[in-house]
Amino acid sequence: MWDPVAKRLIAHVHPDKGTIVDLATGPQQSFDVAGWGASMMYALDADGRRLVNLALSSKRWRLVVYDLDDQGVPVGHRVVPLDGFKNPKAGRTIAFDPASRRFILWADGVFAFDGSTVTEIEVARSVPSVEGRTGNGVYNRFSWASSLRGFVTLIDPDEGGVLLRLP
Amino acid sequence: MARGRSPRVRRRAFTAGLTALAATLLARRPPAFAQGRAEWSALPDAAPLSSQFPPKGNWWGSVGPRAILGAWNGRAWDETGETARLFGYGGHTDYGGNEVYRWRPGEGFQRLNDPNPLDGAVREGKGVPVDANGNPVARARSVHTYSGQVYVDGVIHRLGGSPAWPGGFLNSHWKLDVATLEHTDAGPVARARQGAWRRVGPGRQAADRPCAP
C-alpha cells in the first residue's frame, strides 16, 4: 500500500516476508509476518501511524495491529483474535474509513475496528454478488470513493461495481 | 458415566456445560452492533469486465480471464481520479494474460491493450511473454497480485505475486506507466535488510513490545 505520510510503499512480497519500499532508494527494510497469500490484507490509517493486517494463520483469523512512529518505524504491535472469522465467505479484506476514522473489515459481514474493539455493523440491504461471494478474497479491491461516500469493490465479471455505504 | 454420579456432581457438570456453551456462542462474533445500518448496492456501470475480455489465446489458463476477479487479486486504486486499474491479473494456473483494464464508476470496465502472447500455453507450464516472433520481451507476467498493486502519481507499482506459470512467488517490482502502458522492471525487492518489524506468530507476541490499544 502507499503510505502518504512517509511517502513510501509497504508491500508483502514474499511468503512470511513484507518489505517497505522507498520509491527513491529502493527496499528499505523488511518485516516478518504470519502466513502469506491469504494474509495479505492491510490498511493504513490517514495519519500513517497505525497499520492493520487482517491475517490468516494456523486456520485462525486475527488482526495484527502495528503502531508506527512519526518516521513510519514500527514501535510495537499487538494481536486481536477474530474468533468469529474462521471461514468468512465474503470479502475477506480491510480498509480505512476516512469518514469515521475506523478500519472497516468485510468478512462474512461488515465490522468496524476502532483500534481496540471490533464491532459488527448491521447490513440493511445487500446484493446477490456480495451474498454469493465465496473463495479467495478481494484484497485491496475495496476502496473509499469520496464522491460516492462509500467503499467500492469489484466482484463479479458479469456485473459492474458494488458500493458499500456505512451508517 | 453420568448415571452413577450424585445430583450435585451432575448439576455442576450441567452448569459447566452451559457456561462453556455460552462462552463459545459469545466468542463466535463480536456481540455489539454499531448504531445504524450499512447498505450494499450495485452501481449502474455501463460495461462489465466480461464484455471486455480479449480473444482466446495461449494465455488462457485453466479459468480464463474470469480469474481476474475470481482469483487472489486486488487492484490499483487512483483515489483522486476514482479509477481502478487492473494490470496483469490472473496468475498461477488460472490465467496468463498481462493486459490492463480500467474501471470507473458509471462507466464500468475498458480493456486498454491486448495480452502478450506467451512462449507456450499456461497449461503446459509456460508463461514467458514473447513478441510476434516468439522472442522474450520485457513485459510483466500475469500474477495473483494479492494486495500488491499500488497506484502512485500516474504509475502502478506491482510488487510480488504468484505468476502464471509456475506459481510460487515472484520477488519483483514492475511499474506500469498508465499513460503509455509501458512496463518497467524495477528490480527485486525481497533482499531488504532486516528492520524493526518483528515476526508475529503463536507464542511470539508476548515477547515483543506491545503497543497502546
State whether the Cα torsion B169-B171-B175-B181 is positive or negative.
negative
B174 domain-assigned: yes
Q: Radius of gyration (Cα) for chain A, nearest Å? A: 16
Query: What residue of A is the nearest CA neighbor of B153?
Result: A2
SS3 A10: strand
Q: According to the model, what pLDDT value does residue B180 have?
A: 97
Angle at A161 between CA B59 and CA A65, to 5 degrees: 90
- B112-161 pLDDT per residue, tens: 999 999 998 887 888 899 998 999 999 999 999 988 899 999 999 998 88
Query: What integer pLDDT is reported at residue A16 of this predicted model?
Result: 62
* Inter-residue contact B34 to A124 (CB < 8 Å): no
DSSP per-residue letters across A46-107: TTS-EEEEEEEETTEEEEEEEEE-TTS-EEEEEEEE-TT-SS--SEEEEEEETTTTEEEEEE
**B152 lies within 8 A of chain A by CB:** yes
Closest by alpha carbon to B79, among A141, A145, A13, A88? Answer: A145
Look at B148 and A11 and tell me if their CB atoms are within 8 Å.
yes
CB A166 within 8 A of CB A100: yes
Question: What pLDDT digit, counting tens, does each position of A107-143 carry?
Answer: 878 999 999 999 999 999 999 989 887 767 899 999 9
Q: What is the pTM of this model?
A: 0.84
Mention every residue, 6+ apart, whose C-beta is less than 8 A from residue B48: A156, A157, A158, A159, A160, B108, B109
**Residue closest to B81 by CA, chosen among B156, B28, B192, B157:** B156
Range scoring the smallest mean pLDDT among A64-73, A134-143, B65-74, B111-120: A64-73
Does the residue B77 lie in any domain?
yes
Contact A51/A68 with Cβ under 8 angstroms? yes
More confident residue, A98 or A62: A98
Whether B38 and A12 lie within 8 Å, measured CB to CB: no
Cα(B1)–Cα(B18) distance, integer angstroms: 18
Q: Which residue has the cell 480464463?
A: B64
How many domains does chain B divide into? 1
- Render pLDDT for B6-42 as a digit per residue (tens, 0 to 9): 777 777 777 777 766 665 555 555 545 666 899 999 9
Which 120-139 residues of chain B touch chain A by CB within 8 A?
A: none
- Which of A11, A65, A159 is closest, CB to CB, to B42? A159
How many other C-beta atoms are found inside a 10 Å radius of the C-beta of residue B95?
Answer: 28
- Contact between chains at B38 and A123 (C-beta distance less than 8 A): yes
Q: Which domain holds residue B78?
A: 49-185
Residues with Cβ < 8 Å from A73, sequence gap 6 or more? B195, B196
* B207 reaches A (C-beta below 8 A): no
Query: Which of A2, A65, A111 has its CB closest to that of B152?
Result: A2
- Find, in chain A, the residue whose alpha carbon is nearest to that of B68: A157
Name which residue leads in pLDDT, A26 or B74: B74
ipTM: 0.91
Mean pLDDT of A36-57: 83
- Inform me whether the pLDDT recorded for A87 exceeds 70: no
pLDDT at A4: 84
Closest Cβ opposite residue A159 in set B37, B48, B159: B48
Partner-chain residue, chosen from B43, B149, B195, that has the shortest CB–CB distance to A161: B43
Residue B199 lies in a domain: no
* Confidence bin at A60 (pLDDT 50/70/90): confident
| Domain A2-164 architecture | 7 Propeller (2.130)
**B55 belongs to a structural domain:** yes
pLDDT-derived band at A30, boundaries 50, 70, 90: low
Side chain identity at A45, as an amino acid letter?
A: D
| Interface contact B200, partner A, CB < 8 A | yes
Best B147, B156, B204 member to test A by mutation, with max A CBs in 10 Å, is B147
Asked if pLDDT for residue A38 goes beyond 80, the answer is: no
**Residue extents of the structural domains in chain A:** 2-164
Q: Rounded mean pLDDT of chain B?
A: 82
Residue of A nearest to B155 (CA): A23
Nearest to B103 among A16, A148, A154 (CB): A154
User: By CB neighbour count within 10 A (0-12 exposed, 13-18 middle, 19+ buried), where does B155 fall?
Assistant: middle
Cα distances from A152 to residues A55, A162, B39, B164, in angstroms, run: 22, 6, 12, 28
Q: Inspect the interface and report whether the beta carbons of B213 and A115 lie closer than 8 Å.
A: yes
